[in-house]
Structure 1
Amino acid sequence: MPKSPAELYETDFYAWTQEQASALRRLGEAVSRIDASEPPPYPKNRSAALAAVVEAQQSATEVDFARLVEEVEDLGKSERNALRSWTTQILLHLLQLQYSHASGPRQSWIDEIIAFRTDVEARLTPSLRRDLEEQLPALFTRAHRRTVQKMTMHGEPDAATRLPAECPYTLDQALGDWWPDMGA
């Protein structure tokens, strides 16, 4: 059963923003098609109905539907992009923990993974989780590329060549309490 907009807002903000943007788009299109000079026939009080249609049309012209829709969509995209970025960072640090021989930065990688996991957990909704599941290969590709660059810059080109080409982690592993074998 579909959730009400209020329920969706509380449980899945990203899905709410996308549904609201769609509803605003439909409303804007419908209002723009209203021809106040030829209202539908009303059995009683035609002048009051005509006045209501004209008032609704005038009010609607004050709303910048195109930009409002864009802003609502962007709210959701900002949430989505933040989660994608944090997940990419988690993957990068998991790769560093598992494949780098550097000992100095390990604790900071662990601390950052914990912080990013906390941030993701606080904002993760069902639709954003589905997005991360779908995007995991692309996010891993970004993390892999950046990890290779970092390892090479810090004198670990051998470790960079041992990185897996495809994501060895599930989303549950990346976002949960799982840790890789350190320093493979």
Structure 2
Amino acid sequence: MPSNLYETDFYAWTLEQSKLLKEGDFKHLDIPNLVEEIESLGKQQRQELRNRLGVLIGHLLKWDYQPDKRSKSWRVTIQIQRREIEDLLDENPSLKPYLLEAIAKGYKAGVDLVRLETPLDYEDLPKTCPYTCEQLFDPNFPADLNSMI
């Protein structure tokens, strides 16, 4: 199996590799590139977790630090991110041991989001994530999240 298909037409390469796997034709598989792609898939799941945590944390910070600007959009974004993160963890339970590290990294992204979308800056926000893991996933946190806006 020429590996140049991997470089010239990735989609065709994936179809061909899938076909070879289904047929049990392991001799013609592009093993080095298959290994690379499988490893990449795992990294994408970790990245998705970090990204979603960043959005969640950023919106929780905006909620806490700009109470006069709270909106339905922020509330719904918090709810969506919580649901999507829970689904991601349900579908990929081996990500759970990575959760605390992902929260720490997601916090940095959340701060960047706050800095981008508000007048707040680094000195206005905590140096580390002020939310516990339980709070991040608690649909009733913060207490006023589900009140009418």
Give the structure-1-normalised TM-score: 0.56
Cα root mean square deviation, aligned: 2.4
Q: Does 1:89 align with 2:49?
A: no
Cα drift, residue 80 of structure 1: 2.0
AA aligned to 1:172 is E
1:115 to 80, 85, 95: 80
Cα drift, residue 162 of structure 1: 2.9
AA aligned to 2:58 is L
1:134 alignment partner in structure 2: 101
Aligned length: 119
1:43 alignment partner in structure 2: none
Q: Does 1:72 align with 2:38?
A: yes
Contact map agreement 2:58 2:114 (CA 8 A) in 1: yes
Work out the CA distance in 2 between the residues paired with 1:106 and 1:162: 21
Cα drift, residue 97 of structure 1: 0.3
Cα drift, residue 65 of structure 1: 0.6
Contact map agreement 1:151 1:160 (CA 8 A) in 2: no
Give the structure-2-normalised TM-score: 0.68
Which sections of structure 2, spanning at least 5 residues, go unmatched? 1-23, 145-149
Q: Secondary structure at the match of 1:121?
A: helix
Rg (Cα) greater in structure: 1
Q: Give matches, 1:4-153, under 5 Å.
A: 59-103=25-69, 105-124=70-89, 125-152=92-119
Which sections of structure 1, spanning at least 5 residues, go unmatched? 1-55
- Indicate how the Cα distance of structure 1 residues 139 and 122 shifts in structure 2: closer, same or farther if over 3 A, else same: same
